[in-house]
A and B are shown apart, each in its own frame.
Chain A
Amino acid sequence: DQQVKQNSPSLSVQEGRISILNCDYTNSMFDYFLWYKKYPAEGPTFLISISSIKDKNEDGRFTVFLNKSAKHLSLHIVPSQPGDSAVYFCAASAHNAGNMLTFGGGTRLMVKP
């Protein structure tokens, strides 16, 4: 059973608009969440993270929101750019699980010029 789910396999957005990528989790022990971006034929690169003691973290065009009661997080990209087109993975970690990450299935974002 997948503990981290990204229910939208793909998302298409116009350049300049907001992209919202969603992620749900089931394990209440998760206390740290990350987003990774992956281009074809490259390894994932870390984008932004959030600890469970916060509900928002911002880094430039990227903002991650965490709703602990709903076990839901989202990544907002504003404004979206064609170079943002990639697969985005959310990941979660539990304090008592060492440094292991549990990944979602990924969402392919396409930003159209």
Chain B
Amino acid sequence: DVKVTQSSRYLVKRTGEKVFLECVQDMDHENMFWYRQDPGLGLRLIYFSYDVKMKEKGDIPEGYSVSREKKERFSLILESASTNQTSMYLCASSLRSAQRGAGYEQYFGPGTRLTVT
């Protein structure tokens, strides 16, 4: 069973604070993703990584950065939290499917509900 864990389920931070969200997967997946989920907007991709130390911007990278120093761990950083970053943050991982003939399924962690006040 694929397991994706996120460091916190609920987090409350103040405006201007630096925030770290950590994600760990135990299935040796090459790809890892960070999304935010907001009502009516679905899941929007912030950043993804297809290998250690590699990262690509998603649809809404502004105000965020990421770090992938080890294959199993992918961190999302809010350099200076703002109230419009209050959201549910979801981490996911997947195989690099093209090479392995697998589907494009991504496996998600439980999410972190971040509130910025």
Question: When the two chains form their complex, are residues A99 and B104 in contact, meaning their CB atoms are under 8 A apart?
Answer: yes
Say yes or no: is B12 at the interface (Cβ < 8 Å to chain A).
Answer: no
CA distance A43 to B35 in the complex (A): 11
Most buried by A among B35, B45, B104: B104
List residues of A whose CB falls within 8 A of some B CB.
4, 6, 9, 32, 34, 36, 41-46, 49, 89, 91, 93, 95, 98-101, 103-106
Contact A44 B90 (CB under 8 A): yes
**In the complex, number of A-B residue pairs with CB atoms less than 8 Å apart:** 66
* A99 touching B110, Cβ below 8 Å: no
Q: In the complex, are the beta carbons of B42 and A106 less than 8 A apart?
A: yes
Query: How many residues of B are in contact with the other chain, CB < 8 A?
Result: 31
In contact, A41 and B105 (Cβ under 8 angstroms): no
B40 & A9 in contact (Cβ 8 Å cutoff): yes
Q: Collect the chain B residues with CB atoms within 8 Å of residue A32's CB.
A: 103-104
Q: Looking at the assembled complex, report how far the CB atom of A44 sits from the nearest CB atom of chain B, in whole angstroms.
A: 5
Complex Cα–Cα for A82 and B26 (A): 32
Cross-chain contact A43 with B108 (CB below 8 angstroms): yes
- Whether a CB of chain A sits under 8 angstroms from the CB of B50 is yes
A43-B90 in contact given A99-B31, A105-B41 (Cβ < 8 Å): yes
- CB-CB under 8 A for A99 and B94, given A32-B104, A34-B105: yes
| A6–B43 alpha-carbon span in the complex (Å) | 12
Instruction: Using A89-B43, A105-B41 as known contacts, list a sample of 19 further A-B pairs with CB atoms less than 8 Å apart, ordered by residue number in A.
Output: A4-B42, A6-B42, A36-B108, A42-B111, A43-B4, A43-B90, A43-B110, A49-B103, A99-B31, A99-B50, A99-B95, A99-B98, A99-B104, A100-B48, A103-B43, A103-B44, A104-B42, A106-B40, A106-B42
Q: How distant is the Cα of A41 from the Cα of B94 in the complex, in angstroms?
A: 21
Shortest CB-to-CB span from A62 to chain B, Å, is 15
Tell me the nearest residue of chain A to B6, going by C-beta.
Answer: A43
Cα separation A95 to B97 with both chains bound (whole Å): 10
* Residue pair B111, A103 in contact (C-beta under 8 Å): no
Could you tell me the distance in whole angstroms from the C-beta of B73 to the nearest C-beta in chain A? 17
B106 at the binding interface (Cβ < 8 Å): yes
Cβ 8 A contact of A44, one of B41, B43, B95: B43
